[in-house]
């Protein structure tokens, strides 16, 4: 009988931990391959994890509500498989020296730059053996191969092997830049140094399968291979994509304080302490890193948007926009895209490790959205290619998905510039903090009717305030001012966009 342990996989980009929300099985239950065994909450979404094996659950290694690191074993399953016969019982085999092997938490998806945990404790320890798709020097490999389904990681108790070196740290933007433009017109960069992505290099998959995984946002290193020789098949990728679909945040009827759900109330009832986790924890980490890494500068401009309001009213009556939500934010988003086209230097990021600036030749437009789980910033991919109608549809889908708690990590990755609509809360303006990895963020304030000098006379006009925060390492004052002025010009006179097309 073979007992296997399932480590918590990396279900998203850059995630290092997750909270166990609900176990769907208990010790003694029989499970099948791809049966959902647990629901976890990451910093981005709720995800159901399937079982990689068929067998009987022998132990749940973590409790509901626990937050565990990626790679930590969470469940133990007995497959019932019989291991290959060892040496005859009458002649005990001498103890074999431990074979060199990678050590760590057992994760099949170690994050680049983090490496594996260096466990220096004495005595016996846990050790992972590679999946059939990985080369292995362990004597326990035949036992792993006897499992009914390929497993990404199998943990067994053995003597202490030498610790494995941590993986080299990769740059924050995917690797140092070489000054070459990518064939698809993407960022100017080159792959990270050899060895920095070695974990992913061992995944066996054909080019069409790799393309499918990229299109679906699936990390091949987290897929359970079922093909001959441990190769990842198309069905494996599709199954992983289906299993990784996030779910809406669980709420209760008449629950108007979801943020207190996991808290503990003080004996006098005057305080509630809530652990910082999930979206709130990730947002706090990102904002602290951004605020104290990038030198922020904010410039402001007050603009008459009366003509923008007329355009919005006109589009609402347009038959092509029937069923599409049209708001001033849509025109502001289009104005930002036009300004980026005129000032492409602002569409960049700072690579601290390589000490280089990475210019992006595409615009993934982030829209900050307030949700019950906290602030998320999904982005419209390749927004620069969309006309006004398709941009309106993309923004509507993006915000609806975010408020329903179904935003995936891929939706929030690789943003290039962001808009935060503080005006929807009646706020005039603010000094927004940059989304990490971006050089600019525009705060779009409330639109109010107020006295305004128009053509030499005081008239009631629709007026708003814009605030642009930018990274002063990448954007100097002149560039920031010109960019904001161009956004304002389009909002003041939308027909200006026809001149800049």
CATH number reported for the structural domain that contains residue 32 in this entry = 2.40.50.100
Are the beta carbons of 145 and 84 closer than 8 angstroms?
no
Q: Is residue 421 part of a domain?
A: yes
pLDDT in tens, 41-88: 776 567 888 988 899 999 999 998 888 888 899 999 997 643 333 434
Domain end among 108, 127, 158: 158
Q: Which of 128, 158, 188 corresponds to the end of one domain?
A: 158
Residue in 132, 467, 417, 435 with CA at minimum distance from that of residue 297: 467
Domain boundary among 118, 138, 158: 158
What pLDDT, in 10s, does the model give residues 322-331?
989 999 999 9
What residues act catalytically?
A: 472
Please identify which residue in the block is written with the tokens 């073979």. Answer: 2
CA pair distance 97, 466, nearest whole angstrom = 68
How many separate domains does the chain show?
2
Q: What are 432-485's pLDDT values in tens digits?
A: 999 888 999 999 999 999 999 999 999 999 999 999 999 999 999 999 999 999
Q: What percent of the chain has pLDDT over 90?
A: 37
Residues 313, 455, single domain; the answer is: yes
Does residue 100 form part of some domain?
yes
CB 278 within 8 A of CB 19: yes
Domain membership flag for residue 129: yes
- Whether residue 29 has pLDDT greater than 80: yes
Query: Average model confidence (pLDDT) for the chain?
Result: 75
Q: Which helix (H) or strand (E) holds 37?
A: strand 36-41
Q: Which domain holds residue 46?
A: 3-158
CA nearest 384: which of 422, 335, 426, 429? 335
Q: Which two tokens stand for residue 406?
A: 């179904």
User: What local confidence, expressed as pLDDT, does residue 283 receive?
Assistant: 63
- Looking at the fold, whether 138 and 285 belong to one and the same domain comes out as no
Distance CA 255, CA 185 (A): 47
Per-residue pLDDT, 376: 85
Q: Does residue 401 have a pLDDT over 50?
A: yes
CATH code at 480? 3.30.559.10
Q: Which pLDDT score is estimated for 159?
A: 38
Choose between 419 and 69: higher pLDDT.
419
- Residues shown for the chain: 501
Q: pLDDT per residue over 196-223, tens digit each?
A: 333 334 678 888 888 888 888 888 887 8
List pLDDT tens digits, range 114-156.
333 443 433 333 434 344 444 433 434 333 344 444 444 444 4
Q: Is residue 480 part of a domain?
A: yes
Locate 436 and state its tokens. 């990490």
């Amino acid at each position: 009988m073979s007992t296997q342990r399932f480590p918590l996989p990396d279900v998203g980009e850059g995630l290092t931990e997750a909270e166990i929300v609900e176990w769907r099985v208990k010790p003694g239950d029989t499970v099948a391959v791809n049966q959902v065994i647990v629901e976890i909450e990451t910093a981005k979404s709720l995800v159901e994890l399937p079982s990689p094996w068929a067998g009987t659950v022998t132990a749940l290694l973590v409790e509901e509500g626990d937050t565990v690191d990626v790679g930590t074993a969470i469940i133990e399953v007995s497959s019932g498989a019989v291991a290959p016969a060892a040496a005859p019982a009458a002649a005990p085999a001498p103890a074999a020296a431990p074979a060199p092997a990678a050590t760590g938490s057992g994760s099949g998806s170690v994050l680049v730059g983090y490496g594996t945990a260096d466990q220096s404790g004495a005595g016996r320890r846990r050790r992972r053996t590679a999946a059939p798709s990985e080369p292995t020097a362990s004597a326990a490999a035949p036992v792993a191969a006897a499992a009914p389904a390929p497993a990404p990681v199998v943990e067994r108790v053995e003597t202490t092997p030498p610790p494995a070196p941590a993986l080299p740290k990769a740059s924050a933007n995917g690797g140092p830049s070489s000054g070459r433009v990518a064939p698809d017109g993407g960022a100017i960069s080159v792959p990270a140094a050899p060895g920095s992505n070695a974990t992913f290099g061992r995944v066996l998959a054909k080019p069409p399968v790799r393309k499918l995984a990229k299109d679906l946002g699936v990390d091949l290193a987290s897929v359970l291979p079922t093909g001959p020789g441990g190769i990842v098949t198309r069905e494996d990728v599709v199954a992983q994509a289906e299993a990784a679909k996030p779910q809406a945040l669980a709420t209760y009827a008449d629950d108007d304080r979801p943020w207190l759900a996991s808290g503990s109330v003080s004996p006098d009832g005057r305080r509630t302490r809530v652990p910082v986790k999930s979206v709130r924890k990730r947002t706090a980490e990102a904002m602290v890193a951004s605020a104290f890494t990038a030198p922020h500068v904010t410039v402001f401009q007050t603009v008459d948007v009366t003509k923008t309001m007329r355009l919005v009213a006109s589009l609402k009556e347009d038959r092509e926009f029937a069923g599409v939500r049209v708001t001033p934010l849509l025109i502001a988003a289009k104005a930002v895209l036009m300004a980026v086209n005129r000032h492409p230097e602002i569409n960049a990021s700072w690579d601290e490790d390589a000490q280089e600036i990475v210019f992006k030749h595409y615009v993934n437009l982030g829209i900050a959205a307030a949700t019950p789980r906290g602030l998320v910033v999904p982005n419209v991919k390749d927004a620069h290619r969309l006309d006004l109608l398709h941009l309106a549809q993309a923004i509507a889908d993006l915000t609806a998905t975010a408020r329903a708690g179904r935003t995936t990590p891929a939706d929030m990755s690789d943003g290039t510039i962001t808009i935060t609509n503080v005006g929807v809360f009646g706020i005039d303006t603010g000094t927004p903090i940059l989304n990490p990895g971006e050089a600019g963020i525009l705060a779009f304030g409330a639109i109010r009717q107020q006295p305004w000098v128009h053509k030499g006379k005081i008239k009631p006009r629709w007026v708003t305030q814009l605030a642009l925060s930018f990274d002063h390492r990448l954007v100097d004052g002149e560039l920031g001012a010109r960019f904001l002025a161009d956004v304002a010009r389009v909002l003041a006179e939308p027909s200006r966009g026809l001149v800049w097309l």
